[in-house]
Amino acid sequence: MHATTTVRIGISARHVHLKQEHADILFGQENYLLTNFKDLYQPGEYACAEKVTIQTAHGKIDNVRVLGPYRPETQVEISKTDSRGLKIAPPVRNSGDLDGSAPITLVGPAGTVELEQGCILANRHIHLSPKEAEELHLINEDIVKVEIPGEKGGILYNVHCKIKDSYKKEMHLDVDDANAFLLTGKEDIGYILKD
Amino acid sequence: MHATTTVRIGISARHVHLKQEHADILFGQENYLLTNFKDLYQPGEYACAEKVTIQTAHGKIDNVRVLGPYRPETQVEISKTDSRGLKIAPPVRNSGDLDGSAPITLVGPAGTVELEQGCILANRHIHLSPKEAEELHLINEDIVKVEIPGEKGGILYNVHCKIKDSYKKEMHLDVDDANAFLLTGKEDIGYILKD
């Protein structure tokens, strides 16, 4: 069987997920509350008004957006391009799979958090509700290929399917994939290939 | 028929090809001679010791390498990522196909050249000798797909075949494609897909 279906694409700029304890240090207040700046497409997820600097011994990037809500572990997601300036080699990982990921330091207006690990290149992935997944005969952590149309189009391999009640169908790609494939950030779509 | 063959990959960092007249202005000497810093894989092509700044009203990038030998027209090749900082929208083009390409300014140690056009995103392409092309049943300007292995692997569409006596088989990709597919710059290979 060869089924194809369209999927909207969301481009993930570099960002940081924080645990409560780290936000308290970075922003200098116990039980600090993140400020919802803008809801994201995935229900319950939001970009925050808060930004931090991420740095290593070799480089830094200012104004990296924090995403809410809080997570059990602090996680920094960057692109391969970003990693070259920081001179670190983060592994390609599922969100939350941080063992052995790259060390990085976060600097906020009130304090600094040195992470021994937590920096990753997020793998290419698709969020799906259980119903959307069932229609596509996909189960959690299935790996699919996705075709991207356009002048610099092609097929992306190793796209991980992530299924959760709160999710809506959307593929997340990092900025390197987005720029390589000339995605615009507006109404980009891909085609899930199953074979 | 489905034939596959390997091709070495060269990553093209941002660079500038100059016409003699522009080099004379940038480096302040009539009949200026470019300095061969390092031969490239394609016979007769070389990276020069000379570097220039490329700039627009909105941004600039220093230390952009000049490649030799001289060309009939000055041409600046950058990545989509670079173009965002410069706030220009260069088209995806064959080398030398500059009509309507993006304007950009070059600044050298002795002078400045304002180009009304000349900045492009180089298309994905493969250099081939006539013999190598014949073995693959390819003719000049054929478009092929190329599979890239690896953790962020996939297939690149719209790869242009360029055949010339002096060429040796090598695919050129820009830095966005390279970073998206986690190419290392060392012994990267792709597989030409014909179908």
- The reported pLDDT for the residue numbered B4 is 61
Q: Is the pLDDT of residue B21 over 90?
A: yes
**SS3 for B162?**
strand
* Mean pLDDT score across all residues of chain A: 96
Task: Say if the Cβ atoms of A177 and B180 lie within 8 Å.
Answer: yes
**Are residues B179 and A92, on separate chains, in Cβ contact within 8 Å?**
no
Q: Chain A interface, mutation test: which of B123, B155, B172, most A Cβ atoms within 10 Å?
A: B155
pLDDT at B64 over 70: yes
Task: Tell me A23's DSSP state.
Answer: H
CA B58 centroid distance within chain:
23
Distance from CA of B181 to the nearest CA of A (A): 8
- The domain limits of chain A are 2-10+124-194, 14-122
Number of H helices, E strands in chain A: 4, 14
Residue B187: both structure tokens together: 């012994």
- Residue in A158, A177, A179 nearest the CB of B79: A179
- Residue in B9, B80, B175 to test binding to A, most A beta-carbons within 10 Å: B80
What separation in angstroms does the CA of A164 have from each of A57, A100, A161, B43? 38, 26, 10, 54
In A4-161, which ranges are continuous DSSP H helix? 20-27, 80-86, 130-135
Tell me whether B143 touches chain A (CB under 8 Å).
no
Q: What digits encode the pLDDT tens for the residues A81-128?
A: 999 999 999 999 999 999 999 999 999 999 999 999 999 999 999 999
Minimal-distance CA residue of chain B relative to A184: B80
Contact B169, B133 (CB under 8 A): no
This prediction's pTM: 0.94
CA separation for the pair A123, A173 (Å, rounded): 8
CB-nearest to A81 from B81, B92, B151 is: B81
B180 contacts in A (CB within 8 Å)?
80, 174, 176-177, 179-181
DSSP secondary structure letters along B11-66: EE-SEEE--HHHHHHHHT-TTPPPPEEEE-SSTT-EEEEEEEEEE-SS-EEEEEEE
Query: CA-CA distance, B172 to B193, in Å (whole number)?
Result: 16
Query: Which of A124, A152, A181 lies at the smallest CB-CB distance from B152?
Result: A124
Contact B154 A145 (CB under 8 A): yes
* Interval B103-129 mean pLDDT: 98
B52, B108 contact by CB (below 8 A): yes
Name chain A contacts of B92, Cβ cutoff 8 Å.
151-152, 182
The reported pLDDT for the residue numbered B2 is 44
Q: Are the CB atoms for B64 and B105 separated by under 8 Å?
A: no
Chain segment B169-191, per-residue pLDDT in tens? 999 999 999 999 999 999 999 99
pLDDT at A195: 61
Residue-wise pLDDT for A15-38, tens only, equals 999 999 999 999 999 999 999 999
User: Can you give the pLDDT at residue A1?
Assistant: 41
At residue A176, the 3 state secondary structure works out as: helix
Q: ipTM, 2 decimals?
A: 0.93
Q: Domain A2-10+124-194, what fold?
A: Barwin-like endoglucanases (2.40.40)
Whether B177 contacts chain A with CB within 8 A: yes
- Kindly determine whether residue A154 and residue B156, on different chains, have CB atoms separated by under 8 Å: yes
Give the pLDDT band of residue B195 (cuts 50, 70, 90): low
**Helix %, strand %, coil % of chain B (to 5):** 15, 45, 40
Please, what is the Cα angle at A47 between A45 and A48, to 5 degrees? Answer: 120
Query: Residue A16: which H helix or E strand, with range?
Result: strand A15-17
Which pLDDT band holds residue A4 (cuts at 50, 70, 90)? low
A101 touches chain B (CB under 8 A): no
Q: Taking the CA of residue B54 as centre, how many other CA atoms within 13 Å lie in the half-sphere pointing to its CB?
A: 29
Strand partners, B4: B193
Decide: B43 and B168 in contact? Cβ < 8 Å. Answer: yes
pLDDT cut 70: percent of chain A above it: 97
pLDDT digits (tens, 9 = 90+) for A130-149: 999 999 999 999 999 999 99
Hey, is the C-beta of A94 within 8 angstroms of any chain B C-beta? no
Contact check, Cβ <8 Å, B181/A182: no
